[in-house]
Structure 1
């Protein structure tokens, strides 16, 4: 048994050895070897997003007939992006395979390589190296939303929104914020864990203004291409935009009001709550209370505003809108308005023509100016109501230039083609005529029409009275015509006409004008005459000029109307020739000038010569038909007379001067062969004799009447308050110094403003003392215990509602008839509103103007200077002064800038000027007291005396010895010695003969 078993074993081993030996034989040995093979020398994973996994396999196959063992598979480079694994060490039977798994997990972008080494114990193919390649690609990461819009925020506020980031890989994601505005955005997360979805809190906190953009970048590696979400936000200074902005207001006059609005839209992401609306200029006022109003995002709220123009020119301010959002905040919008719009200023506002005979005509002028500072005012015409048939209006004048009414219009409705009136000194003058056609009192209203935004129509009250009179008997000279003879081409000449009333009835003469000017050859140098009344045994005369535009013969006509039913229209033919003449007069006219009745008239001469190259025969020389026989030719001429070239004759004339008025007579010199005589006009005027009587009333040195002319426009509240504050101390100082004050107050309002101003005067005191209804004392004595309080209350009554400062005219109205002399103003329905009793004849007078803009009365300031100088009578000019508290510089904001009108009148009358912006008016008012302390010792005369031989001085009718007064030629004044100074209330009379003045001849026309 053992042998068999052992022998069998030996046989088997032998057989194996034989077989193995046989394998080494060509073609036989190979068949018994272990052979390993792999199915690829390289693996290419292509592009794989970073963090994702891809797997490929390498197959180890047994391609022989003998099993072998797969021993190991590993990566030679150790690259962490690859993982290599196989099913483990083990036997691989022939025809079987074993898998090696290679996984690619890129950790960065870009190419990644590895080498996988496979080891077996096979006889053939024991080791294999497989090249492994892959490309790390960008990882797409889901971020929602792709755009995170924070909308609009106020600067330095914040908003937080969420992003949802889904991490699809097993790598953590890095979260960063990048971009130009990255600093304004923050996230609360810097990594997103693997394989998770995460809510990322994102905050927007802008510290600067503007649109801002940034990106949230999410990536699996620091160098990887990020996935992004856009961050957007806008930073604004405040929650609102205003439409319109700046807020526009109408161009209005100073002291007027207008309304506008803006719309505030909440442009932020959250609702806000309105609080307070304020402005930095009290001229602008919010018109609605919107406190605690919530304004949602995108919602619009209307903000109405009012503008009260307080100054001339452009005005800008800021509206501040307080509101609550994340904290108390403010928004601002510019308010843009302009004061100084054109406005019509008119003076005076009433015309009383007095009494005329029926058929008479008298004119008065009103002045139209532009009270604004920006742009032209346009005058559009006039119309008359009431008894307009008894009144008429001449064409407007700018200076001396007539501006015709619109063609086709006629009184009582006259149109003007938008005549511009510029701010400042520009003006239009309208002459209004009273020409009654029947007896009785007549009243009409003249309505002025302009493009004034607030007051397009202004009314002027016209009054006049007419009486019946008999037919006029008159003389008109020269007759039968006014002949100018020959006036050399290129020259002109002046003669005149003379109208005399020799009858017993007065003559009403009107519409004196050149009805035919001969193609422009004839005109009246002083312009046409409206007319007037010529009493019995009186006369008037006027010039007519002849200035031919070219050589030739000219015919013209003067026309006038008189109250004579038989010949109501009177004409005077005019004739003149213009041609070359050999005769020439030097001077070409003889003018004696104005000569006093008692002063001698010096003879005057002219030289008439031949200025041709050949001899000329002078055939005639004589005085022609003139206005009177006042001129005489002294030199007798033997005519005819041959005048050689350059030869001439001197002719002397005298003037009789025994008929008052102007006189015109032609002197004619004729030459042979010349068709018209040469004209030499003779001109002269006789005035009254020079016996002068000047009367004065001595004022009281301790009395002072003070008229306060206080502006009642809308911007005067501060300045009225300052004036009232200064009154108690000033009045007390006057009492201490023994000065008796009488105080009155009126406004600068000339016309009523009934629709805006209340009270009985409606803002237009027009010179009447306040209060016009007399409910409180109007002329206040400083001795009254409540003087300051009463004056202050009267200032309060003026109000703050008017829109036009015409203080110089209201001053003139206050101090002149009928107000100054009547207890009642006859022009108003209110009873007892006159100023009678305010002005004391013995007291000094001071006018104190308080206004935050200049005067718009229109007439030249010099006319107001002359008025004030005449208030106290002849020679008493220095007893009246005007003082002005007005804008003088830019120390504070006033309704108007410094202006010359108030200041110039103050300076010309010896008053003073100070800035209305001065905090305390007391020191300025004290200047008035300083002028009231001394009696007047010098009295200026109205004319220059002809020595003192005929001068006498009387006080209260008693003639003073000459040692008690002297005449001061330098001041042209009588000066009393200290012991003889008249006492208050005494009448002073100075009689003297004024000096004869020799007037030089006027230049040739």
Structure 2
């Protein structure tokens, strides 16, 4: 064992170099003494050692030579040696020293004798007693394993090994590290006093990443066998990692919000403090509002943080979320953020519809517009399923929709008009829910709710004419139309539905306008519809059937047979049909003629010319035609048949004109078509505009992408107000948003982003209808155009229409909402011109056509006075930019139709357009165009209800009434006239 002594034996020693070396006297003798006279080492730990020094002195008169010294006693327990090399010759008075070491190998008393041999005659062998006791003293080591876990490189962790010394002697404990990674650990020797418990610190200071190869051996005392302690440790590059490493939002529609979680996971076995989360801010589309930092992540803990992406521009967007972590190696943890502005987006209108009260047996329809209203760079949107949920009471579902082939894909800006029907089969209330699943962003499942109420009525008394639709003979390749009339002969209303071709004869019969889903015929009323036959080039005989469902339990379905023959004919009719156009009772169309030619090389016999059963048999009359009996028509000869349309029955009238010919088994048929209208007189109304009055409505986009545009609009408002003052315009100003449906409480103004035409702020936290006399009007208008950025779909046209339509436009409070005094009464003035300014970074997504909204606005200010309603727009144009949601055409189209202007939303300054709005000159109107041509001498003009016979004239060239004395502003002008006959 290391440090132990060899076997006990004689120790040959030389003379001490420090002793004097001179000749010994022959007459005298030396005398050797030892100091001390004995050594007691007392108690020494087994395997430990203690040393003592013994001095040999010559007190005689002659030289003494000390030859050697040894110990007689327990083997290996003692060892003696001179402190200097010999020879050890001592002159009188000189001395030399011995070092005696006691290292017990066993417990208990261990006496011994130190023997010194010299050349003295008196005592050549000097015996010096030695004494000592061995004590079994060593430290107890616990635990036998240390797990440092997983810690980040460049950090430090210290664990301890407990050392217990239950003995009465101190012990030296010596640790030893071995292995490839021993340089990353620290452990130092220490002494453990009697009865003491101490901790031996072992420190892990990793600099390299990975699992550690290391072992620890502890010697619990000097000379003791090593005690192994197992060490386990791993160094990490990072203690905290991000999940996912990159937060990728994918494609998100402009103006919509996407929220994803960025999570931190503590993969170490030590707590880690996260102090903050910040975004680099390279793209304002990304944001976060997380609280609760700083925080401590416990070992293995995962904490999620919300990151929001609200694309304010088209195309790719990038940023970084940067976490601050208490770490020497990685004080920051960056997480890349990615997104793409522009995605398929679902717009559905309406989401809820009440069919109201309907008669049993009816079928009523609403058209649901389903649109991919994502930006132009968005991908397609797929409608995957359309399923009706069962009736809550388990009864038969009374709602359905026109089937479409699924899946149905809509390209960007593509739309589908889905027909939804209510077919009540029982009295009382009904409800139904249509669940649509799509691939649209944040609209994977959409529920459409429908309601209705049914009421019973008397069974239908329905007359169908004709009872048989006979197309006679039609040459191959040609088509013809006839009609069917349904008339309610009863005293109660009659619901009819599912009017369709039940048997199309192999595809030759159809309804030109498509099948009729249903309608309600009131007592004494009727309507007609067309049925067509298209003769195939191969000819042949054909039969089919038309069906009409009615509310009559005895005869729920009425069938109308369809017949047709097609073959080559000698008779050639010109024209192949007679269309009399639109007439009225007092102004029927002029008679028309059909010429028949024998195109064959042989004579044919014409035996009859007659009008067959049609929708109304008295409406068409034969005029000039060959009188019966039969006559022969030579090759190349022709004859003419005159037909008069009486136009006495309102609506569409159709009848067949037949000619019996010897070359045909079935008469040749020419359709007779006419329509009679009740309208004879018409009144066009106008309100004379006031050149000094303008009602200006701002419709401002409140979607999330307007972060760049709202500040520019606010900055332009002072220029608008100043220009209005300079023009001395009496102006009403109000603001609404493009939001229709409520979205989020984060929206200001009280309407949750869904103003639906209500002026902003709908909660009346500020004045909503402003004039130039409003205190601080510029500042208030600037505040009112800051409508927030939280809505999702821009429906500017629809918002305008709702803002200026009852009940909003004429009520101080919207009765449909809980907010108080949120109506728009007092804004729209009959005498003022209307200007609407649309501001948005994405095109309009309203459900109706642009022309529909334009015509509505123009009619709102007076028919044939389109200049009194003008649209302006700050919106995307055909030239796109990064902050615009694609290119725009609807706003630009509306502005063009009304004489307004468009400013690209990407422009840096909006003031020029607003100055033009405020400065627009509205001149008084002196020419009032009529919607139809009047009969001469029937024009009557009233101004404010008083008939005016002078100061105006009718200009036939422009079909206008021209005033020489211009009606004053606000005057109500009514021009009544009798519509001229078309054949006059």
Q: When the two structures are superposed, what TM-score results if normalisation uses the length of structure 2?
A: 0.66
1:953 aligns with 2:957: no
Within a 5 Å distance, the mapping from 1:110-509 to structure 2 comes to 248-254=248-254, 255-259=256-260, 278-285=280-287, 306=307, 308-311=309-312, 313-319=314-320, 335-351=337-353, 353=355, 356-373=358-375, 374-379=378-383, 380-383=385-388, 392-395=399-402, 403-404=404-405, 417-424=406-413, 426-437=414-425, 446-460=434-448, 462=450, 469-478=457-466, 480-509=467-496
1:982 aligns with 2:971: no
Q: 2:899 aligns with which of 899, 903, 910?
A: 910
Alpha-carbon shift at residue 982 of structure 1 (Å): 1.9
- For residues 547-595 of structure 1, the C-alpha deviation after alignment (integer angstroms, 9 at most, x for no partner) is 2445333222222233445444333222222233333312111111222
User: Secondary structure of the residue that 1:899 maps to in structure 2?
Assistant: coil
Q: Which moved more, 1:709-718 or 1:437-446?
A: 437-446
1:752 aligns with 2:746: no
- For residues 341-399 of structure 1, the C-alpha deviation after alignment (integer angstroms, 9 at most, x for no partner) is 21101234454546544443332322111112421111232536789978634326xxx
CA contact (8 A) 2:399 2:423 kept: yes
Q: In structure 1, what is the Cα distance between the partners aligned to 2:244 and 2:880?
A: 33
Aligned to 2:83: none
Task: Describe the shift of the 1:390–1:698 C-alpha distance in structure 2 as closer, same or farther (beyond 3 A).
Answer: farther
1:685 aligns with 2:671: no
CA contact (8 A) 1:583 1:608 kept: yes
Task: Describe the shift of the 1:668–1:285 C-alpha distance in structure 2 as closer, same or farther (beyond 3 A).
Answer: same
Q: 2:862 aligns with which of 873, 880, 885?
A: 873
CA contact (8 A) 1:322 1:328 kept: no
User: Secondary structure of the residue that 1:869 maps to in structure 2?
Assistant: helix
- For residues 965-990 of structure 1, the C-alpha deviation after alignment (integer angstroms, 9 at most, x for no partner) is 2334554332322xx22223332111
- For residues 862-888 of structure 1, the C-alpha deviation after alignment (integer angstroms, 9 at most, x for no partner) is 222222222223223321122111123
CA contact (8 A) 2:431 2:451 kept: yes
CA contact (8 A) 1:599 1:689 kept: no
Aligned to 2:804: 815
Aligned to 2:919: 930
1:561 aligns with 2:546: no
Alpha-carbon shift at residue 339 of structure 1 (Å): 1.9
Alpha-carbon shift at residue 772 of structure 1 (Å): 3.5
Q: Which moved more, 1:816-825 or 1:546-555?
A: 816-825
Alpha-carbon shift at residue 696 of structure 1 (Å): 1.9
Q: In structure 1, what is the Cα distance between the partners aligned to 2:887 and 2:402?
A: 33
Q: In structure 1, what is the Cα distance between the partners aligned to 2:279 and 2:567?
A: 83
Aligned to 1:839: 828
User: Secondary structure of the residue that 1:840 maps to in structure 2?
Assistant: coil
Task: Describe the shift of the 1:891–1:691 C-alpha distance in structure 2 as closer, same or farther (beyond 3 A).
Answer: closer
Q: Tell me, which stretches of 5 or more residues in structure 1 are unaligned? A: 1-239, 266-271, 397-402, 405-416, 1000-1005
Q: In structure 1, what is the Cα distance between the partners aligned to 2:278 and 2:747?
A: 31
Task: Describe the shift of the 1:916–1:493 C-alpha distance in structure 2 as closer, same or farther (beyond 3 A).
Answer: same
Within a 5 Å distance, the mapping from 1:663-682 to structure 2 comes to 663-672=653-662, 674-682=664-672
User: Secondary structure of the residue that 2:484 maps to in structure 1?
Assistant: strand
- For residues 636-676 of structure 1, the C-alpha deviation after alignment (integer angstroms, 9 at most, x for no partner) is 32342222333332211111112221110001112225322
Aligned to 2:761: 771
CA contact (8 A) 2:284 2:312 kept: no
User: Secondary structure of the residue that 1:635 maps to in structure 2?
Assistant: coil
Aligned to 1:608: 596
- For residues 296-355 of structure 1, the C-alpha deviation after alignment (integer angstroms, 9 at most, x for no partner) is xxx999997835242564313354979999999999987542121211012344545465
Alpha-carbon shift at residue 526 of structure 1 (Å): 0.6
Q: When the two structures are superposed, what TM-score results if normalisation uses the length of structure 1?
A: 0.65
Task: Describe the shift of the 1:347–1:700 C-alpha distance in structure 2 as closer, same or farther (beyond 3 A).
Answer: farther
Task: Describe the shift of the 1:262–1:983 C-alpha distance in structure 2 as closer, same or farther (beyond 3 A).
Answer: same
Task: Describe the shift of the 1:891–1:419 C-alpha distance in structure 2 as closer, same or farther (beyond 3 A).
Answer: closer
CA contact (8 A) 1:497 1:541 kept: yes
Within a 5 Å distance, the mapping from 1:10-49 to structure 2 comes to none
Q: 2:520 aligns with which of 530, 533, 536?
A: 533
Alpha-carbon shift at residue 724 of structure 1 (Å): 3.3
Q: In structure 2, what is the Cα distance between the partners aligned to 1:739 and 1:391?
A: 56
Task: Describe the shift of the 1:452–1:482 C-alpha distance in structure 2 as closer, same or farther (beyond 3 A).
Answer: same
Alpha-carbon shift at residue 630 of structure 1 (Å): 0.9
User: Secondary structure of the residue that 1:541 maps to in structure 2?
Assistant: strand
- For residues 603-637 of structure 1, the C-alpha deviation after alignment (integer angstroms, 9 at most, x for no partner) is 21222233333332222221100011211111232
1:511 aligns with 2:498: yes
Task: Describe the shift of the 1:330–1:263 C-alpha distance in structure 2 as closer, same or farther (beyond 3 A).
Answer: closer
CA contact (8 A) 2:243 2:265 kept: yes
Q: In structure 2, what is the Cα distance between the partners aligned to 1:288 and 1:369?
A: 35
Task: Describe the shift of the 1:837–1:941 C-alpha distance in structure 2 as closer, same or farther (beyond 3 A).
Answer: same
Alpha-carbon shift at residue 289 of structure 1 (Å): 10
CA contact (8 A) 2:720 2:914 kept: yes
Q: Tell me, which stretches of 5 or more residues in structure 2 are unaligned? A: 1-239, 267-273
CA contact (8 A) 1:276 1:290 kept: no
Alpha-carbon shift at residue 529 of structure 1 (Å): 1.5
CA contact (8 A) 1:499 1:539 kept: yes
User: Secondary structure of the residue that 2:743 maps to in structure 1?
Assistant: coil
Task: Describe the shift of the 1:799–1:280 C-alpha distance in structure 2 as closer, same or farther (beyond 3 A).
Answer: same
1:547 aligns with 2:548: no
Aligned to 2:977: 992
- For residues 744-783 of structure 1, the C-alpha deviation after alignment (integer angstroms, 9 at most, x for no partner) is 3222122222587587533222223333445554434443
Aligned to 1:712: 702
Aligned to 2:794: 805
- For residues 419-464 of structure 1, the C-alpha deviation after alignment (integer angstroms, 9 at most, x for no partner) is 101102x210012334445666766655543222312344555455
Q: In structure 2, what is the Cα distance between the partners aligned to 1:583 and 1:921?
A: 72
Q: In structure 2, what is the Cα distance between the partners aligned to 1:677 and 1:763?
A: 68
Q: In structure 2, what is the Cα distance between the partners aligned to 1:672 and 1:302?
A: 95
CA contact (8 A) 1:365 1:430 kept: yes
Task: Describe the shift of the 1:294–1:991 C-alpha distance in structure 2 as closer, same or farther (beyond 3 A).
Answer: closer
Q: In structure 2, what is the Cα distance between the partners aligned to 1:713 and 1:743?
A: 22
Task: Describe the shift of the 1:561–1:889 C-alpha distance in structure 2 as closer, same or farther (beyond 3 A).
Answer: closer
CA contact (8 A) 1:507 1:534 kept: yes
CA contact (8 A) 1:252 1:453 kept: yes
Q: 1:656 aligns with which of 646, 671, 681?
A: 646
Within a 5 Å distance, the mapping from 1:566-581 to structure 2 comes to 566-581=554-569
User: Secondary structure of the residue that 2:711 maps to in structure 1?
Assistant: helix
Task: Describe the shift of the 1:840–1:275 C-alpha distance in structure 2 as closer, same or farther (beyond 3 A).
Answer: closer
Task: Describe the shift of the 1:485–1:450 C-alpha distance in structure 2 as closer, same or farther (beyond 3 A).
Answer: same
CA contact (8 A) 1:251 1:337 kept: yes
Alpha-carbon shift at residue 527 of structure 1 (Å): 1.0
Aligned to 2:199: none
Task: Describe the shift of the 1:453–1:519 C-alpha distance in structure 2 as closer, same or farther (beyond 3 A).
Answer: same
Aligned to 1:584: 572
Task: Describe the shift of the 1:942–1:421 C-alpha distance in structure 2 as closer, same or farther (beyond 3 A).
Answer: same
User: Secondary structure of the residue that 1:727 maps to in structure 2?
Assistant: helix
- For residues 173-225 of structure 1, the C-alpha deviation after alignment (integer angstroms, 9 at most, x for no partner) is xxxxxxxxxxxxxxxxxxxxxxxxxxxxxxxxxxxxxxxxxxxxxxxxxxxxx
Aligned to 1:131: none
Task: Describe the shift of the 1:634–1:970 C-alpha distance in structure 2 as closer, same or farther (beyond 3 A).
Answer: closer
- For residues 55-98 of structure 1, the C-alpha deviation after alignment (integer angstroms, 9 at most, x for no partner) is xxxxxxxxxxxxxxxxxxxxxxxxxxxxxxxxxxxxxxxxxxxx
Aligned to 2:612: 624
